[in-house]
Structure formats: C-alpha cells, structure tokens
C-alpha cells in the first residue's frame, strides 16, 4: 500500500462515502497501483473489457489515457475518449466513482491538456438506459508523492462520481459552474489581460504588494504552519505565503484555466511547500482540524451557498486557527441598473459587512473582525486604470483594443458602483475557538 494509493482512497471515500464492493483497475503492467489490502476485490482489466462490466462501484484508470492514445500529441482523441467515458458510465453504479490518474509531465502542452481534459469529463453527459447521466466532478488533484519524490507537479488524479442529471435547457450556454467560470470570467485570454492589469501572478486588486498588506492582517504566522488558500487563482497568494512566510500552502480553485496556470508555474519553480487541487471549496472535504490559517482573496462572492462554505471552512480550521477573507461586497445604496446587470452576469452573491459578521458568529467563529476597505479599492482601481492608459503601448503588444476597452470600461464602471455605494470591498477575520 503506497501513499499514492492511500491518497486516492482518501479522495474516493470523501467523494462517495458508500461501501465499495466491486472495483475495476484498468492498468498497464507498469502500473504501481494495486490497492492490496485497501480495496478487497480489485481486478485488472484492459480498457476494452470495460464494455462487458456492470455493477461496479469504483473504476481506477491508471495511466491508460496516454498509453492507449486517448490523449495524443495533437490533443484529446474525442472518439476514443467518448467510448471510454461511455463504457465507464455503463459499468458504474450510480454514485460509483471513476478515478483517472495521468502523469502530464511528458505532455507537450499541459497548459492545454489539463484544462481540456477536466472540461471534457466535467461536461460529459449521455442517455444510458433511459437515464441522463454523467460525472459529478469532485476534484483534479496533484499526486503528492510525485511532488515530494520527483519534483513532478503534473501528475494528477481526477475523481468523478457517476450521477443522474436533469437535461439542460436548449439555450444553456454552460453545463456546470466550473464550465461557467472557465468560459466567461476566466478564459485564457481573459486571465492574461487581468494579470497584466493586476500584476504578475495575481487576479485581485493591487497585486503582489496589496496581497502582502492583506496577509499582514493575520497578525503574524507560525513558521512552517499550514495554510489553505480558497480560490487561489493563478497562485500569487499561495506562492507568496510559502516564499515570504515559509508556510505550507494548499491552493484550491474551481476554474481549471486559473489553476492550470498556477500548477504549470509551480512545476517550473519546484516549491514543494505548495500544492493544488482543482475543486469546489464548498463540496471538497478538507478534513477536520487541518489548517492553522485559511485565506481567501476575492473569491467568495462567486459562491451561492455561503452557509455550506462557512461550515466547511470551520471544520477544516484547527482550534485556535485564524481565517482571513477579502471579498467583493455590497454597500447600502439602491442598486443602479448597471450594477444589477454586472452582478447578474457574474452570478455574484454579494454580502454586506453585517451579513458576513452574522454568518461568522452563527458558525461558531470568535474574535470576528470586519472592515470596509472600499476606499482602498477606489484608490487601487484609479491607480490601475491610470497605469493601463500610461502603458497602452505595452498592453497592445499582447492584447487587442477590445480587451483594452473591456478593462478600461470595467474599471471605470466599478468606480461608479463605488460612488453609488453599490460595490464594496470587505475584509473579514476571525478565529476558531481553541
Ligand atoms: N485569489 C486569487 C488572486 O488573488 O489572484 C484569485 C482571485 S479571482 C478574483 C477569484 C477566484 O475564485 C477565481 O479563480 C475563481 O475560479 C475562484 N472560485 C470561484 N468559485 C469557487 C469555488 N466554489 N471554489 C473554489 N474556487 C472558486
């Protein structure tokens, strides 16, 4: 039983707590995964034999996608990938789990393969025996042992749970919330242009320097302690917390485009204090009493079920641990039509400072501190917009007029929302009782 097998079993149990009676292990002779003593009925199969299986609770496909040509130099091979996913769905019981383990360190373009494979499996839906089924995406996570033993940050496991879905409306543009994030606010060019605006490695107001100022609000760190960064984006905050404060940091983000960028960068840098998982911070099981610090920069306005998020955060924080979050929030002014549209397009769930405070207290946090940072937000937006104008020539070397207009107008609009006391920028800090 290796640590990698244990990591996979931990993720499977978290995604689907039911009993695992029948397991199918799809592997090559070189596979290191056996699950001996962990999963009693594991058997080895070739991919083609999956078609004849039914009633399976767990399928582990260990490094077969590249080996069998489902991922090629040209990218994903749609027809064979479709056939594989369809056979897996037919073989699995509802609630059963498909684990795909694939090492992308030899892939020519992991920046493309990682998000496109994640997208493929997340939105894959088919009618099977009268039911509309697909995979409920739990996570795509780095294999810890590959990081520590080989400096390989590109070895992944995807954890996918078979689920029955309601067919989408004919005009639905996106299938899941991850799909929505990756196709709207966090497209690849969008991320690049945002990073130009905010500064290297950051997709949040003020970039590197502002993030240091925000981290300082924790009031100091224990060297080597563990931090969780929720909605870590392209990884600026995670790498800063590790490199400047010596923390062990896990970054999670639901956007595959965002987190891929963070992962590829850390694969080049080899900072083993840092690891990542593409997952939804609301549903991922972080474990109990794990982190000394939980941090989140400007993510939680995206989250609908704030109570579920706070419950999850509270559970994973160690007793005495500290949480610090900045978020886009709402003020007390009547919403303008433009602000309503801005909010609806992004599916934001903006809260007032009072709402955040009440929720924190309701979930058991103590020493709750909230702070309105909107004036600082105004200063930053004004500075960033002026910088865009001044450095136009550099911007146009990389991006188009349309992207310039979108950023310039977006920053100007936010300044107007602040003026109307619609848009706020809020900070929340609290402690889990010791
Ligand atoms: N914190 C990063 C930074 O400072 O550069 C990124 C901030 S960006 C404005 C917000 C991030 O939250 C996005 O990368 C988005 O994908 C992520 N996010 C939104 N909903 C999420 C969820 N439910 N779970 C995890 N991440 C989420």
pLDDT digits 0-9 by tens, 161-207? 999 999 988 889 999 999 999 999 999 889 999 999 999 999 999 99
> Does ligand 1 lie within 6 Å of residue 115's CB atom?
no
- For ligand 1, atom 6, the nearest C-alpha belongs to 233
> Does ligand 1 lie within 6 Å of residue 214's CB atom?
no
Q: Answer whether residue 79 shows pLDDT above 90.
A: yes
- Give bridge partners of residue 133 from the DSSP assignment: 126, 164
Residue 190 resides in a domain: yes
Confidence of residue 44 (pLDDT cuts 50, 70, 90): confident
CA dist 154 and 263 (Å) reads 7
The sign of the torsion formed by the CA atoms of 241, 4, 102, 39 equals negative
Residue 18 resides in a domain: yes
CA dist 20 and 349 (Å) reads 38
- Give bridge partners of residue 278 from the DSSP assignment: 140, 253
Q: Which residue has the tokens 């850390």?
A: 266
CA angle 115, 118, 120 (to 5 degrees): 105
* Percent of the chain at pLDDT exceeding 70: 98
CA dist 35 and 274 (Å) reads 27
Ligand 1 center from residue 58 Cα (angstroms): 30
Q: Are residues 152 and 253 in the same domain?
A: no
Residue 172 resides in a domain: no
Residue 174 resides in a domain: no
Domain boundaries, position 323: 179-431
> Does ligand 1 lie within 6 Å of residue 237's CB atom?
yes
Q: Are residues 419 and 270 in the same domain?
A: yes
Query: What dihedral do alpha carbons 361, 364, 365, 366 form, nearest 10°?
Result: 80
Ligand 1 center from residue 9 Cα (angstroms): 27
Ligand 1 center from residue 132 Cα (angstroms): 30
Closest CA to 329 of 309, 361, 354, 301: 301
CATH number of the domain bearing residue 244: 3.40.50.150
Residue 173 resides in a domain: no
131-142 and 248-253 beta bridge pairing: unpaired
Q: Answer whether residue 114 shows pLDDT above 80.
A: yes
- For ligand 1, atom 21, the nearest C-alpha belongs to 254
Q: Are residues 213 and 326 in the same domain?
A: yes
Judging by beta carbons within 10 Å of its beta carbon (0-12, 13-18, 19+), is residue 95 exposed, middle or buried? middle
CA dist 213 and 418 (Å) reads 22
Give the ipTM: 1.00
Q: In which element (H, E) is residue 286 found?
A: none
Q: Are residues 302 and 324 in the same domain?
A: yes
- CB within 8 A of 312, min separation 6: which ones? 281, 282, 283, 284, 285, 286
Confidence of residue 42 (pLDDT cuts 50, 70, 90): low
Q: Could you tell which of 191, 196, 253 is best to mutate to test the pocket of ligand 1, judged by most ligand atoms within 8 Å of the CB?
A: 253
Q: Are residues 42 and 118 in the same domain?
A: yes
For residues 25-34, average pLDDT: 78
Q: Are residues 154 and 186 in the same domain?
A: no
Q: Are 349 and 302 within 8 A, CB to CB?
A: yes
Least confident of 30-34, 199-203, 310-314: 30-34
Average pLDDT, the chain: 95
Q: In which element (H, E) is residue 350 found?
A: none
Give the end-to-end CA distance of the chain in Å, rounded to a whole number: 35
Q: Are residues 142 and 114 in the same domain?
A: yes
Q: Are residues 199 and 112 in the same domain?
A: no
Query: For the segment 205-247, what is each residue's pLDDT rounded down to a tens digit?
Result: 999 999 999 999 999 999 999 999 999 999 999 999 999 999 9
The per-residue pLDDT for 38 is 63
Least confident of 41-45, 124-128, 156-160: 41-45
Of the three residues 130, 146, 167, the one that is the final residue of a domain is 167
The per-residue pLDDT for 33 is 83
Confidence of residue 51 (pLDDT cuts 50, 70, 90): confident
Nearest-atom number in ligand 1 for the CA of 309 is 23
Of the three residues 122, 144, 167, the one that is the final residue of a domain is 167
Ligand 1 center from residue 39 Cα (angstroms): 35
CA dist 434 and 430 (Å) reads 12
Closest CA to 203 of 218, 190, 219, 222: 190
Of the three residues 117, 141, 167, the one that is the final residue of a domain is 167
Please give the tally of structural domains in the chain. 2
> Does ligand 1 lie within 6 Å of residue 385's CB atom?
no
């Amino acid at each position: 039983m290796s640590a990698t097998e244990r990591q996979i079993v931990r993720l499977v149990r978290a995604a689907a707590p039911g009993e695992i009676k029948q397991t199918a292990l799809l592997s090559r002779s070189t596979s290191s995964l056996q699950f001996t003593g962990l999963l009693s009925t594991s058997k080895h199969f070739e991919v083609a034999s999956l078609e004849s299986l039914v009633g399976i609770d767990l399928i582990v496909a260990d490094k077969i996608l590249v080996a069998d040509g489902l991922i090629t130099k040209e990218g994903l091979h749609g027809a064979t990938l479709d056939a594989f996913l369809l056979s897996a769905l037919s073989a699995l019981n509802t609630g059963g789990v498909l684990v795909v383990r694939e090492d992308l360190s030899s892939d020519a373009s992991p920046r493309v393969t990682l998000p496109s494979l994640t997208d493929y499996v997340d939105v894959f839906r088919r009618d099977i025996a009268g039911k509309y089924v697909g995979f409920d995406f739990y996570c795509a996570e780095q294999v810890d042992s590959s990081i520590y033993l080989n400096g390989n940050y590109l070895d992944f496991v995807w954890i996918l749970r078979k689920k029955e879905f309601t067919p989408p409306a004919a005009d639905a543009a996106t299938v899941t919330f991850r799909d929505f994030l990756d196709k709207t606010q966090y497209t690849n060019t969008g991320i690049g242009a945002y990073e130009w605006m905010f500064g290297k490695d950051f997709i949040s107001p003020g970039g590197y320097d502002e993030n240091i100022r925000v981290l300082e609000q924790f009031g100091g760190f224990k060297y080597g302690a563990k931090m969780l960064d929720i909605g870590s984006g392209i990884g600026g905050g995670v790498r800063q917390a590790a490199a400047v404060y010596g923390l062990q940091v896990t970054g999670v983000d639901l956007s595959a485009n965002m987190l891929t960028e963070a992962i590829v960068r850390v694969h080049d840098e080899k900072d083993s204090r840092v690891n990542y998982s593409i997952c939804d911070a609301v549903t991922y099981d972080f474990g109990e009493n794990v982190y000394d610090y939980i941090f989140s920069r400007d993510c939680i306005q995206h989250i609908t079920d704030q109570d579920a998020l706070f419950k999850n955060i509270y559970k994973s924080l160690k007793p005495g641990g500290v949480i610090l979050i900045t978020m886009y929030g709402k003020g007390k002014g009547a919403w303008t039509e433009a602000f309503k549209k801005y909010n609806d397009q992004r599916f934001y769930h903006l809260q007032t400072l009072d709402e955040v405070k009440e929720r924190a207290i309701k979930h058991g946090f103590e020493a709750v501190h909230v702070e309105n940072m909107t004036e600082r937000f105004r200063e930053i937006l004004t500075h960033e917009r002026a910088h865009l104008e001044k450095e136009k020539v550099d911007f146009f070397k990389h991006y188009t007029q349309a992207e310039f207009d979108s950023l310039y107008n977006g920053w100007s609009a936010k300044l107007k929302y602040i003026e109307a006391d619609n848009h706020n920028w809020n900070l929340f800090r609290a402690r889990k009782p010791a």
